[in-house]
A and B are shown apart, each in its own frame.
Chain A
């Protein structure tokens, strides 16, 4: 139970600094849960990451699965709730404030600044997660191929997930 409370408090704090969404948060999550607290090992973390990517729904499911790993169904809900509520309350109060903001200049400044922060965080997150969970050249090639396909075509991401699963099942990754 104390670990569940620790998880709840840490994840709640993460919620408020997760610019760029939960994807930008992944390296911090990994650092905390694998290297600092040893709640799970790197292999399990990257498996959970994969399951979360393949599952339908919001992209914070890695968090849910970490909670599940620690305390079953209760843990899953506690972890998910922790990552949602602080940001949810923040946006609840901020939205009126921002929608009513009269000065279009201020609005733009905040929007541009947040966008650039988010880009940096998301890209460095992808880089750090790749360094941790991609083993070998083929994995990096597949990640690169994914980026190319997303940027150059209009394929649905599910096809790419299926492609990854297929290549992996054949023992190529």
Chain B
């Protein structure tokens, strides 16, 4: 969705310059929550304040919500068909792979400063091995993350 957002906002409509868009995207990836609606808040409020933010979020999510509800209705009808079960199993296996690959793509950039991989390891151990709650994981890992980020930025 993000490449498409960049094309519309920067290239076609020219609402924002490319630098401005990248800066906003950077912020939206720092803060928690759904990246896409966070971006909508940034872009919307840049032009019309609170109203713009609300309009952007609604515009972005209403259509997809309706579509997904329609899909859910279909699912309720056909969920017991063997072929539908198979299709959903196939898609969820791909979906897991897609999520992992977003992580791996971002991981590639971190190899320029290998110590920061430590944060990734700490997070993974805390979350996947010790099964700590997400709040705890963030709390434990952020001091390490900030310390290493400070070292990386200092270079």
Contact = CB atoms under 8 A, between A and B. Distances in A.
Given A49-B95, A150-B105, A124 B123 contact: yes
B90 A90 contact: no
A112 to B, nearest CB: 4
A133 B96 contact: yes
A57 B64 contact: yes
Given A84-B61, A167-B90, A51 B71 contact: yes
The list of the 9 closest CB pairs from A to B, nearest first, reads A87-B33, A168-B90, A57-B64, A120-B123, A146-B97, A164-B94, A112-B149, A53-B95, A126-B100
B1 A58 contact: yes
Contacts of B31: 87, 90-91, 94, 114
Contacts, number: 330
A10 B70 CA distance: 25
B17 interface: no
Given A119-B107, A120-B127, A169 B87 contact: yes
Given A16-B33, A76-B69, A129-B96, 9 more contacts: A17-B134, A88-B37, A115-B109, A123-B104, A126-B99, A133-B92, A135-B89, A146-B101, A160-B98
Interface of A: 14-19, 21-28, 46-61, 64-65, 68-69, 73, 76-77, 80, 83-84, 86-88, 90-92, 94-95, 98-99, 105, 108-130, 133-135, 138-140, 142-147, 150-151, 157, 160-161, 163-173
Contact of A161 (B68, B94, B135): B94
A91 B128 CA distance: 28
Contacts of A49: 92, 95
B146 interface: yes
Given A14-B134, A54-B91, A124-B127, A130 B121 contact: no
Interface of B: 1, 23-24, 26-38, 41-42, 45, 50, 53, 57, 60-61, 63-65, 67-69, 71-72, 75, 79, 82-83, 86-107, 109-110, 116, 119-124, 127-128, 133-135, 137-138, 141-142, 145-146, 148-150, 152-154
